[in-house]
Amino acid sequence: MAARAKFRFSKPDAGIFLAAACALGLTLAPRPASAEDDGIPRAWDGRPDFNGVWQAIGTAHWDLEDHPAVPGHPDLGAIGAVPPGQGVVVGGEIPYNDAGRAQKQRNFARRATDDPEAKCFLPGVPRATYLPYPFQIIQGDRKIMFVYGFAEANRTIHMDKETPEPPPLDSWMGRSHGRWEGDTLVVDVEGFNGEAWFDRAGNFAGPGLKVRERYAPLGRNALLYEATLEDPAVFTRPWKIRMPLYRRLEENARVLEFKCVDYAEDLVYGHLRREPTR
C-alpha cells in the first residue's frame, strides 16, 4: 500500500511545509522570465516551474471515452445523473482485448459498489490527475512531489535515478521515475497492484500496467497532459489519453484534504455489522 502522507496547506503549517520542502531539496522560488522567453515560468535551473495548484476540467473522471448522459442514482434526480462528455482517448476507443472488454462491462454493471473511488481507495495513475479535485506540484531538482486531495494520495517523482529502480512492492500509485525532455517532464510509472480503475465507467488495467506521462507547458498557466498506457494482458496495443491541465489562479488556491473514509465505511463494511446494512 502506498504511503499516505498528510499535508495540510493552511497558514499555521507554512513553516513545517517549507522545512519539509527543504529536506527534499525542493526549489520553490521561480526565476523571472526574460524578454526572450515564451512566457513559461522558469525555476532556478532554467527548467519550467510547475510549482502550483492544478486541475483538469472535463468529464474524464466519469468516462475516458465519448459518452452520452445516462441515469445515475435514481433518488438524486438530475444531480445524480452522469453528464455527457467528449472523450480524451486519442483515436476515440480503448483497445481492449476480448477478456479485457468483458471485464470492463462487468465493472460498468457493478460500478455503484465496486468502483475503488466509491470505497475511498487511492486513485492510481493516471486517474489521480483528472479527478474533479485540484492537486499540487512541489518541484525540486532531485524529487518532484504530487499531492492530491482525494484519500490523502501523493507520490514522489524520482528525478535522480539514472537507472530506474524496480518498485519494492506493488501499490495503488506505483513507482514514478522522471526526466526532462526539453521543457517536457516525462514520467514512467509501474509497479501497480492492478486494483485501480481509470474512471467511473469501469475502464481498468491489470498489475502489468505501465504508464508514461508527459507534462508539457502551454504557456504560463496551462499544461498539456498525455499518458500512454500499456498492458498486454488487457489491451491489444498501447494507447494514449490527452487533456489540458489548468493552474488555479485564486490567491488562496490550495489542496484541501478529502478524507473520504467516513463516507465509505458502510459500503465496504456494512455487510459485517450485526444487523447488516448491505
Higher pLDDT, 163 or 3: 163
Predicted pLDDT of residue 14: 44
In Å, what is the CA distance from 185 to each residue of 40, 100, 130, 157, 178?
A: 14, 30, 17, 10, 7
Which range among 28-32, 50-54, 69-73 shows the weakest confidence by mean pLDDT?
A: 28-32
Q: What pLDDT score does 24 carry?
A: 52
Does residue 28 have a pLDDT over 70?
A: no
Give the tens place of pLDDT for each residue, 41-66.
999 999 999 999 999 999 999 999 99
Domain boundaries, the chain: 11-272
pLDDT over threshold 90, residue 232: yes
Calculate the alpha carbon distances from 230 to 14, 41, 138, 155, 235 in Å: 40, 32, 27, 20, 7
- Higher-pLDDT residue of 64 and 8 is 64
Residue with the bigger pLDDT between 271 and 91: it is 91
Give the percent of the chain with pLDDT over 90: 74
> What local confidence, expressed as pLDDT, does residue 37 receive?
60
How far apart, in whole angstroms, are the C-alpha atoms of residue 261 and residue 223? 31
The pLDDT tens digits of the residues spanning 147-180 come to 999 999 999 999 998 777 888 899 999 999 999 9
- pLDDT for the residue 1: 43
Average pLDDT, the chain: 88
